[in-house]
Structure 1
Amino acid sequence: MNNTLHQKAPGYLLWLLFTLLVFSSLIKLGVWQSQRAEEKEQRLTRISQYQLEDARPLTQVLALEQQGLDINDMPVLLEGQFAPNALFFLDNQIDNGRLGYRVFQVFLSGQAALLVNLGWVPGSLDRQLLPRIQPISGSYSLKGNVRKLEAGVMLMEQQLPPRLLAANEWPLRVQQIEPEKFSPLIARQLLPFVVYLDKNEAIGYKKNWQAVVMPPQKHRAYAFQWFSLACAFLGLMVWASLHHHRQSKNNK
């Protein structure tokens, strides 16, 4: 009998470890989705509060960031001018099923340089052709919202020349907005966030962005699915274990 127990022990332990591993993974996914829902709700609440406030000058926004405050989505007032030529086309941006680009241009405000999202433009079927867009020139007073950048998933690292680009090398197609890597291209240090133009601003292109792409309700629905899968999986494994145990007893 002891030999039988020893023979069953490794298989039982593997069964138990597999069950615990899968169950805990499903629970973690559910918890993660629940946390994302809470984060989205907090962000939407913050955005609603910001809509009641006046835009702050960029210098004030930077001072608040230095104090450790979260400036994401904060309304900001930009005073300055666009840098000539420094135009970036963010690739693979979709609007109503159509492939295009998000257009970013460098804006100079005092000693600060930052990227401004001017909006979406359609792309060509010929991937070699970039949209025929002239850089915006002149001085402006613009309202927008700060957007902190989230790291995207890239299969390959962007290869960019570590030097100042000549006028005839613009515009530049990019796969991800990376101010730190873009800074050598304009010989100025870019701020680590971008500004999305206020939709009421006259300049720019199609301003089709949303603060939150996936609403909190959808995250909660996904969380419910993961928790349900975890419970169903655990129930199935318990049933399979009991069924196997009964069969083993009947075979004796």
Structure 2
Amino acid sequence: MKPVDAERRKDSGLLVGGPGGWRGLVIRHPSIHLGRYCFQPGWSMTLLTLVLVSLLVMLGFWQLARAEAKVQLIDRYEKNSALPAVDLNAGDLNGQQLDYRFAAADGEYRDAPFILLNNQIYQGRVGFHLLNLFRLAESDQYLLINQGWVPATAESKPMITASRFNLYNNQKVQGMLVPVPRVGLRLGELRYQPDAPVMELPYLDLSWLGQVLHVDLQSSVLLQDAQLVGQYRQQRETLWLDPERHRGYALQWFSLALALVIIYLVTNLKRPDSS
């Protein structure tokens, strides 16, 4: 072998694997000396800790954002519920901010299937919300009336027969306008059987209902007053509007992130003579 080639091989070996080579710079862990201790974390542990801490902090801020949204919702509920009742026969009210407003309307119930919204929890018990179509007087507008909650049997059926779904022949309805319940995961498809007296749904979709029933539905649901439907339970959806719960969740996520950082620091802080 020529001397020149040997020198070249020696130089390339120093560049790749020697103390000053680029591979040594990549593999060698950074170290910080703090008195008698040395902080020298591994790259893999550093990367894993960074990813996990970032995720926990993001979850914490997400819970804080949800808490703020609940605060705004509570503020809207308190303001709107204190306003005078809305006359739903006064005209087209779509597009107006009517959530949590008390309202009244004249009209008649349409001869249509009763709607059962399943998997509705009341005081820890599973049941259904019973809803009906109500046609506003002298109008082609329809309103979805939530008559309240009815318990479910052991066979997951409503604890009331179809023949007892009584509308009380009311020509006037009153109650509170509430938003359509939000849907997280839409499990199952919405199905409609025209001849069935009852339509059982896993969630509400007003656009779908309007299409299959051929009606023009208002964008809100009227939660009917209790005195008109004595058998059913009425719910004013305020108990779940608890921003403190989300702040508690945020504190948990931030605490986990802090604990992970402390564990990362402690496990990588060692005395040089202890290894």
1:101 alignment counterpart: 128
Write the distance in 1 (CA, Å) between the matches of 2:130 and 2:177: 16
Deviation of 1:155 after TM superposition, in Å, equals 5.9
Shift in alpha-carbon separation, 1:22–1:186, aligned structure 2, 3 A: same
Write the distance in 1 (CA, Å) between the matches of 2:51 and 2:43: 12
2:268 alignment counterpart: 241
Which amino acid in structure 1 is aligned with residue 45 of structure 2? W
Which amino acid in structure 2 is aligned with residue 49 of structure 1? K
Which amino acid in structure 2 is aligned with residue 57 of structure 1? D
Write the distance in 2 (CA, Å) between the matches of 1:129 and 1:149: 21
1:160 lines up with 2:195 in the alignment: no
Judge conservation of contact 1:61–1:71 (CA < 8 Å) in 2. Answer: no
What is the DSSP-based 3-state SS (H/G/I as helix, E as strand, rest coil) of the residue aligned with 1:157? coil
Judge conservation of contact 1:83–1:137 (CA < 8 Å) in 2. Answer: no
Shift in alpha-carbon separation, 1:212–1:21, aligned structure 2, 3 A: farther
Write the distance in 2 (CA, Å) between the matches of 1:16 and 1:36: 30
1:34 alignment counterpart: 64
Judge conservation of contact 1:104–1:117 (CA < 8 Å) in 2. Answer: yes
1:6 alignment counterpart: 26
2:148 alignment counterpart: 119
1:218 alignment counterpart: 245
Which amino acid in structure 2 is aligned with residue 138 of structure 1? N
User: What is the percent sequence identity of the aligned residues?
Assistant: 23
Write the distance in 1 (CA, Å) between the matches of 2:42 and 2:180: 47
Q: Render the CA deviation track for 1:152-179: whole Å, top value 9, x for unaligned.
A: 2336332414x7x23xx02111111111
The 10-residue stretch of structure 1 (147-156 or 233-242) with the greater mean CA deviation from structure 2: 147-156
Q: Render the CA deviation track for 1:167-214: whole Å, top value 9, x for unaligned.
A: xx0211111111122223322132333221234x42361113423414
The 10-residue stretch of structure 1 (13-22 or 107-116) with the greater mean CA deviation from structure 2: 13-22
- Listed as ranges, the matches of 1:32-181 within 5 Å are 32-58=62-88, 62-63=92-93, 65-66=94-95, 70-109=97-136, 110-127=139-156, 131-132=160-161, 133-136=164-167, 138-154=169-185, 156-161=187-192, 165-166=194-195, 169-181=196-208
Deviation of 1:19 after TM superposition, in Å, equals 2.1
Q: Over alpha carbons, which structure has the higher Rg?
A: 2
Query: When the two structures are superposed, what TM-score results if normalisation uses the length of structure 2?
Result: 0.74
1:193 lines up with 2:223 in the alignment: no
Query: When the two structures are superposed, what TM-score results if normalisation uses the length of structure 1?
Result: 0.80
What is the DSSP-based 3-state SS (H/G/I as helix, E as strand, rest coil) of the residue aligned with 2:84? coil
Q: Render the CA deviation track for 1:65-90: whole Å, top value 9, x for unaligned.
A: 53xx5332222222211112431111
Q: Render the CA deviation track for 1:107-126: whole Å, top value 9, x for unaligned.
A: 11122112111111111222
Write the distance in 1 (CA, Å) between the matches of 2:121 and 2:82: 30
Write the distance in 1 (CA, Å) between the matches of 2:42 and 2:150: 59
Deviation of 1:62 after TM superposition, in Å, equals 4.9
Structure 2: runs of 5 or more not aligned: 1-18, 30-40
Alpha carbon RMSD of aligned pairs, Å? Answer: 2.8
Write the distance in 1 (CA, Å) between the matches of 2:28 and 2:188: 49
Q: How many residues align?
A: 239
